[in-house]
Amino acid sequence: MTDSTETSIDFDIKVEDAGPARKRISVNVPSDAIDQQMTASLGTLQAQAQLPGFRKGKAPRHLLQRRFGSAMQEETVQKLVRESYEKAVSDNKLAVLGDAEVIGGEESLKLDEGKPFTFELEVEIVPEFEFPDFEKIEILRPQLEVGDDLIQAEIDRQCLRAGNAERIEGDFQPLDRMLGSIIVMGDGEEEPLFTHDQALVVLPESGEKGQVLGLLIEDMNENFKGTKVGDEVTIEATGPDAHEQENFRGKKLTIKFTIHLCERISPATTAELIEQFSLGTEDVLREQIVMALEQRRDEEQASILRRQGMEKITEAVDFELPERASGIQMQRELDRMRHEMSSSGDLSPDEIEIKLAEAREDTEAGMQQRMKSYFILQRLAMHMETQVHESEINARIAAMAMQRGLRPDHVRSELAKAGQLPVIGSQVRDDKAADAMVAKMKIKDIPADEWGDMIKESTGTTKKKAPAKKSSSKKAATKKTASKKASTKKASTKKATTKKAPSKKKSS
């Protein structure tokens, strides 16, 4: 039943702070406005309804009221909540995050005849703050070069990408890929926290950490030593506080993984690679590799400038983070990191998942810093009035496809099935906003060696000075294998005293 009659509703709306980056919206609808709305709905219904024994449009109002009264009330309530929320967001220019929550639960959304309709909503918003003067900030641009060692490393990596997958039954080694069923139990829990019948596990290189479902595993290879296809492997882990799956956080977890199949990848030769891509000669292959590496270098330089600019802004501004910003924002930040690393082409998909597992293990202070950067990017996109066009999303997908050796339509289909296309749009928007910020800053060029020394001194670790160098022993993403990455189901939390209100959609 839809009320097509347009009536002007006199909302009395009050918006006030309800905590860090959180607003409370109080709404009062006078009783006469409710009566007008119900009368309009009843009139529309009378004109359209056809009850037994009456011609269309001739059914008495009291019969319609008796039969459809509760449905009309529910429809009126939803209309009032939706329209008052949209008006509050529009009039107060609120940059909302997620859905609003109705305070008081469902019972607070009942209409009482002859009485005003009052209710309250709470919604998180992007924190408000003032940006510093971008023109007074200096950032450094390393002069990265594409050398012979990087060209050969990329050829080796492409040989791995074009390699053949062979089924094996046992004697597992680093970089082997396994598909199997998985069950995750929490300490003291009777029911599984998570199950999946097609989970992917990739054994890390010797001496390195691995990951399962985004959980960092210190001695990954030891768990699979001496096992074979069909065996069940038990892995103990502790859920990090920053894991996007809320029921994993802070819990001692027992992971039971049953191996269904395993594959090992043998790299193709350079000659086979040339033949596969119809490049003719090794010189043509090297020319193509150089072009790809130069593009990657330019993207790496842009990424370095963005990171520096964001670090400067993060240091310069201060605001309180939303109290309840947790799972959703964490998932968005991890998605952003995943696509940023995928676009750079420096890491294989397996290496990216390890990096993300390490990010989940980050300290609370580290995650707070990531969350702060996330909100700064949201506000920055608004400040720069950044818009994203479909052609820009297509270009980003094409770049990802080239790095993975797949067709763009194949990558787009994968992203659509995983619900990740909006993430690509958000990343493009964030990068455009950050690029606009960088364009206003002072940029100083420095040699790559000097940049590398600065990074080494500031972090105490060795960091690459140019696009990543790969050796033939490094893992690669196979072009066609039987294994498919299992997606982690998100935990949903239902609040006993709240009900979801219609969400306000924001355009990119």
* Residues 338-363 pLDDT 10s: 767 766 556 666 677 777 777 776 65
Confidence at residue 271, expressed as pLDDT on a 0 to 100 scale: 92
- The three-class DSSP label of residue 284 is helix
Would you say 425 and 388 are in contact if contact means Cβ atoms under 8 Å apart? Answer: yes
User: Has residue 504 got a pLDDT over 70?
Assistant: no
Confidence at residue 48, expressed as pLDDT on a 0 to 100 scale: 60
Biggest CA-to-CA distance, the chain: 90
Q: How far apart are CA 244 and CA 330, in angstroms?
A: 6
Q: What is the mean pLDDT of residues 93-116?
A: 80
At residue 72, what are phi and psi to the nearest 5 degrees?
-65, -40
Ranked by mean pLDDT, the top range of 5-19, 43-57, 462-476 is: 5-19
Handedness of CA 325, 354, 480, 228 (dihedral sign): negative
The pLDDT-based confidence of 73 (bands split at 50, 70, 90) is confident
User: Has residue 148 got a pLDDT over 70?
Assistant: yes
- Second-level CATH architecture of 166-266: Roll (3.10)
Residue entry with tokens 């009482």: 112
Confidence at residue 499, expressed as pLDDT on a 0 to 100 scale: 40
* Residues 172-200 pLDDT 10s: 999 899 999 999 999 988 899 999 998 89
User: Has residue 465 got a pLDDT over 80?
Assistant: no
Alpha helices in 101-260 (DSSP H): 148-161, 220-223
Topology alike, domains 12-125 and 166-266? no
Determine the length of the chain.
Answer: 508
Confidence at residue 54, expressed as pLDDT on a 0 to 100 scale: 66
- Domain edges within the chain: 12-125, 134-163+269-477, 166-266
Q: Which residue type, as a one-letter code, is found at position 332?
A: R
- Second-level CATH architecture of 12-125: 2-Layer Sandwich (3.30)
* Residues 392-432 pLDDT 10s: 999 988 887 876 667 888 888 888 887 778 888 888 999 99
The answer to which of 12-21, 161-170, 412-421 has the lowest mean pLDDT is 412-421
**8 or 182, which is more confident:** 182
**471 or 252, which is more confident:** 252
Q: What is the mean pLDDT of residues 463-477?
A: 38
Q: How far apart are CA 158 and CA 405, in angstroms?
A: 9
Of all residues in the chain, the percent with pLDDT exceeding 70 is 74
Confidence at residue 487, expressed as pLDDT on a 0 to 100 scale: 37
**369 or 194, which is more confident:** 194
The pLDDT-based confidence of 206 (bands split at 50, 70, 90) is confident
* Residues 303-348 pLDDT 10s: 999 999 999 999 999 988 776 655 556 666 777 777 677 665 566 6
* Residues 235-265 pLDDT 10s: 999 988 777 777 888 899 999 999 999 999 8
Q: How far apart are CA 146 and CA 448, in angstroms?
A: 11
User: Has residue 77 got a pLDDT over 90?
Assistant: no
pTM for this one? 0.63
Average pLDDT of the chain, as a whole number:
79
Q: How far apart are CA 32 and CA 23, in angstroms?
A: 28
Q: Which residue type, as a one-letter code, is found at position 106?
A: E
**132 or 9, which is more confident:** 132
- The three-class DSSP label of residue 159 is helix
User: Has residue 39 got a pLDDT over 90?
Assistant: no
H-helix or E-strand spanning residue 243: none
Q: How far apart are CA 381 and CA 90, in angstroms?
A: 18
Q: How far apart are CA 90 and CA 85, in angstroms?
A: 9
The answer to which of 50-59, 149-158, 485-494 has the lowest mean pLDDT is 485-494
Confidence at residue 250, expressed as pLDDT on a 0 to 100 scale: 86
The pLDDT-based confidence of 110 (bands split at 50, 70, 90) is confident
* Residues 59-72 pLDDT 10s: 665 665 666 656 67
